[in-house]
Structure 1
């Protein structure tokens, strides 16, 4: 739970809130050829040239014939993110098959205005499948006329009917600005074997300065200083994260397929509120959620299928005959989390949902009818049971009913699928009834690493059937168990890991300390996750090491440890 907030951090009207500080934009301007917006000691803009593309460029949501390209233009010194001011700027965009743009295949013009915080997205169509492209934007008009964005690279998906030997993805989650640097993004950007980056939530954090404690305090401070609530606030925070050089580099090299979790809104968000939302001081939740949604749609390279902030974010991507990826939204439609004690009974309530009924139908039908060999789910919160202990409902139901406990056992937490056991049962039963195999959930949220089988009945594992597997990746920088307790890594956490695995036998791997990322591969003969851990999230020059690897063979439905990680040289997408 978040700490109590200082009264100074209570929300102010949007007009009184500061735009993204010039120092942050100056740091981010290194993205755009090393120049920046200068600021005097008084905070007023100096007479230095305005850098048009200080927030970089990005691409995302690749399909066989199209991909989203994105940027943000700063038309004048006062038109900072969240300011709501600045003239409209026409941006000429080009997509080419070479980085020198001697072979331009698509081009056009898009206008960036204050209404969209001067962000611009183009859904570039008419492209070839499984092809590497380069793209750039050029400002036309105003004080930044003629400035050119960084040249970036992207990749389209393979044709729907392509027979593929493998696919490989970087998997990331939970990048908390104040807790550490984004070295995990830097190390992913150095790889040449990734088809896309799957970001499964918590791309930004909503907290004010110092509210979410890291081991060594804040290594850099959030802007604005308070919890973000208004549309201007969310725009400023997204803009700050886009100035991180490691994140900017990764965006400029590999397309993202992203979804949100709670911190893009507020901690432990649900349909009608959040744990970190106080209506008395922060106003109406629906307004705050709409602000967060609008800023996310503006600042992220996601394809929005609809108009307004009610457009669904859950969506599906096909990669040839090999894999289909379903990206979930587990915040917009969920019921409030169950609380311990009398609230335990809500865990099994069939009327409560984490997905919402429409999304559950979409997910279930997609998995059971998928034409691809592997069914991959981008899953913001953990779906594997973590129970204390798992109970056999056939023999313990009378007891759990008597004392008011969840039928399957007491969950470690109720923000995950454990808190919505009926929804999980619906999904697992549908997969089992259809006899679907090769379903893999790729998960974030926990700031820790897990490899799990997904049993139909956790109490009867390993004797009973399983419906798939789950790989949970660590945080990029958000505090883990050791960080939160203030103890050295691999001390207190180790017995906790062993206790979890002893009680929940379907949990095959747990690592509760390290920060980093995952590299996930699907191939006709199996799927594998490699965990990579950075040496120190508080060190901007952190090194990286291989932590562990687990694999599930085609049709096996159960994971096994693997001694060596995937060979980066064995895959070259879009070659």
Structure 2
């Protein structure tokens, strides 16, 4: 995603580095040489018979993320049906080694479907905090519903992670879906220019040690740790887990030579990601995979960075080329065959960039530039967001045609990246809509903290956004609603009859105690492929 502001490299001073040391970065005087679990626990990728567990052990006080310091340590894990661990149903051992930044993953199997469990780790007699997780329903089960928290775009320096705190407090979620930009690669003050709080390392992350330190520093956030301890997280990546506007062979925010070779940087970012995230890679080095929730829903998780062609330039007719891909051939075949073969009532697609086309009509020039920063579109006014599916129009049309021609109904794209809430129909031909059918729907979640329209303009929310929202809806009849100002999260609830998204906004991203309120709800009823407003929130 393209951002303006101080866009290239920051000079890192010794004083700046010292000012943003991570929590527990150095041993306290008299600290015991005993393991610690400073970064919490996590779980992810639930299956009917299992779940992936995660933690990071600090074997000795100086063995901070990215340091390579500290001995290997044996770690025990256990899973119980009760919070007191009176009935332990699975246990095992692993080794936290410096080669994996002292992170530990346990792919636990043999559990019961659709069941809540508690888990914890132990190293040298020291116990981790306990976490709670949940398995998926059995493949042939008919669950009443699937309820997911939905988040995207959590820039540490742009604000506090209150959205995570509010989701962690909910007891009705089966999992949380993170749609990308879990971390950001920028140096301090690059984006945003005026940080709410400071990250570590202070410089832009380039090396394996850098990415490990950045992931580790994010996990010092209490709300992020609480989210991971409360719910299994299903995560895919977007661009900032490596570098802004990344593609197969490079990124906008990567300078070959001065910042090393792209393949080395990407390999470092990918290694750190899989070390630190509770993600089970289906294909080595990617995050595209599929999870099933009984016969109610299949969740297809896309990787739209690893295989894509380079983004086209402003006004470049190349966006319509038949040869351009955002998915890559293997992932395309996997996705389309999976959609065709699905026997679930709903096909949910975890989609890191927006698939709905967006035109901007007569949007005032003073608003087009700031919106371009959020959407990643050319500031000159062209209705093409080349980092979105708008930059790969032929492949988008092939996918929508695949859904239409094969009669694949009840497909919902769940999207992040653009720092705004949206509810869209996904038309077969947007220019003729509603004269042509809608073949899917799309719910887009805003950012946890990253800048959106009012932040970019430096004005209070709802000051100017109404003008932009009205212009966007006038030029795009398939856009049912857009909120260009709020930060927050969403909750998706899927039943046999409908899929509904409740959208929430925070009172102030700069306030660690920010409150949360529901702003709108939209749903799509089975068989309609259209979005309508829901008067009532999810029960």
- TM bucket by the smaller chain? over 0.9
Partner of residue 427, structure 2: 455
> SS of the residue aligned with 1:220?
coil
- Residue 563 (structure 1) shift: 1.6
Q: Could you say which residue in structure 1 is the equivalent of 2:334?
A: 362
* Cα offset, 1:361, TM superposition: 1.2
Counterpart selection for 1:163 from 142, 149, 152 = 142
- 1:489 counterpart (450, 457, 461): 461
Matched, 1:47 2:19: no
User: For residues 376-395 of structure 1, what are the structure 2 equivalents within 5 Å?
Assistant: 376-388=348-360
Q: Which residue of 1 aligns with 2:151?
A: 172
Q: Which residue of 1 aligns with 2:212?
A: 235
Q: Report if the CA contact (8 A) 1:171-1:473 is conserved.
A: yes
Distance, in Å, in 2 between the alignment partners of 1:455 and 1:508 is 12
Unaligned 5+ segments in structure 1 are 11-15, 27-36, 140-144, 391-405, 568-575
**The 10-residue stretch of structure 1 (174-183 or 365-374) with the greater mean CA deviation from structure 2:** 365-374
Q: Counterpart in 2 of 1:313? A: 287
Q: Distance in 2 between matches of 1:367 and 1:20?
A: 51
Once the 2 structures are TM-superposed, how far is the Cα of residue 8 of structure 1 from its aligned partner? 2.5
Secondary structure in 1 matching 2:408:
coil
> In the TM superposition, what is the alpha-carbon distance from 1:219 to its structure 2 partner?
1.4
The change in CA–CA distance for 1:5 and 1:312 in structure 2 (over 3 A counts) is closer
Distance of 2:179 and 2:9 partners within structure 1: 31
Separation in 2 of the partners of 1:410 and 1:461?
A: 20
1:504 Cα deviation (Å)? 0.4
Distance in 1 (CA, whole Å) between partners of 2:37 and 2:476 is 49
The question of whether the paired residues in 1 share the 8 Å contact of 2:270 and 2:285 is answered with: no
CA contact (8 A) 2:358 2:384 kept: yes
Residue 571 of structure 1 corresponds to which residue in structure 2? none
Question: What's the secondary structure of 2:392's corresponding residue?
Answer: helix
Asked if the contact 2:10/2:187 (under 8 Å) is kept, the reply is no
Alignment of 1:467-478 (within 5 A): 467-478=439-450
Aligned length in residues? 517
The answer for the alignment partner of 1:282 in structure 2 is: 259
Aligned residues of 2:361 and 2:471 also touching (Cα < 8 A): no
Within 1, Cα distance between the matches of 2:131 and 2:359? Answer: 45
Residue of structure 2 equivalent to 1:573: none
Contact 2:8 2:253 (8 Å CA) reproduced? no
What is residue 77 of structure 1 aligned with on the other side?
A: 61
For the residues of structure 1 that align with 2:481 and 2:437, how far apart are their CA atoms?
19
Q: Does 1:202 align with 2:176?
A: no
Q: Distance in 2 between matches of 1:99 and 1:21?
A: 39
The answer to whether the 8 Å contact 2:360/2:471 transfers is no
Q: Distance in 1 between matches of 2:475 and 2:324?
A: 27
Which residue of 93, 110, 113 maps to 1:126? 110
SS at match of 2:39: coil
User: Kindly tell me: are residues 225 and 19 of structure 1, through their superposed partners in 2, closer, same or farther at Cα, counting changes over 3 Å?
Assistant: closer
Report the counterpart of residue 265 of structure 1 in structure 2. 242
Distance 2:79 2:18 in 1: 30
Q: Which residue of 2 aligns with 1:516?
A: 488
What is the deviation of 1:545? Answer: 0.5
Pairwise mapping of residues 496-511 of structure 1 onto structure 2 (< 5 A)? 496-511=468-483
Q: Distance in 2 between matches of 1:301 and 1:106?
A: 18
Give the CA RMSD over aligned residues: 2.0
CA contact (8 A) 1:442 1:472 kept: yes
Compared with structure 1, are the counterparts of its residues 21 and 368 closer, same or farther at alpha carbon in structure 2 (3 Å cutoff)?
A: farther
The match for 2:99 is: 115
Map 1:303-452 → 2, pairs under 5 A: 303-305=280-282, 310-341=284-315, 344-388=316-360, 410-452=382-424
Structure 2 SS opposite 1:411:
coil
Report the more deviating stretch, 252-261 or 557-566. 557-566
Partner of 1:248: 225
| Residue pairs, 1:135-154, within 5 angstroms | 135-139=119-123, 145-154=124-133
Distance 1:6 1:268, change over 3 A: closer
For normalisation by structure 1, the TM-score amounts to 0.87
TM-score, with normalisation over the residues of structure 2?
Answer: 0.93
Q: CA deviation at 1:279?
A: 1.1
1:48, distance to aligned residue in structure 2 (A) = 2.1
- What does residue 400 of structure 1 align with? none
Q: Offset of 1:554 from its aligned partner?
A: 0.8
Measure, in 2, the Cα distance between the counterparts of 1:491 and 1:560. Answer: 26
Q: Give CA-to-partner distance per residue, 1:432-460, whole Å, 9 cap, x none.
A: 01011100000000000100000000011
Q: Distance between the aligned counterparts of 2:9 and 2:236, measured in 1?
A: 31
Rounded to whole Å, the distance in 2 between the matches of 1:21 and 1:363 is: 46
Shift of residue 6, structure 1, vs aligned partner: 4.5
Answer yes or no: is the 8 Å Cα contact 1:21–1:223 preserved in 2: no
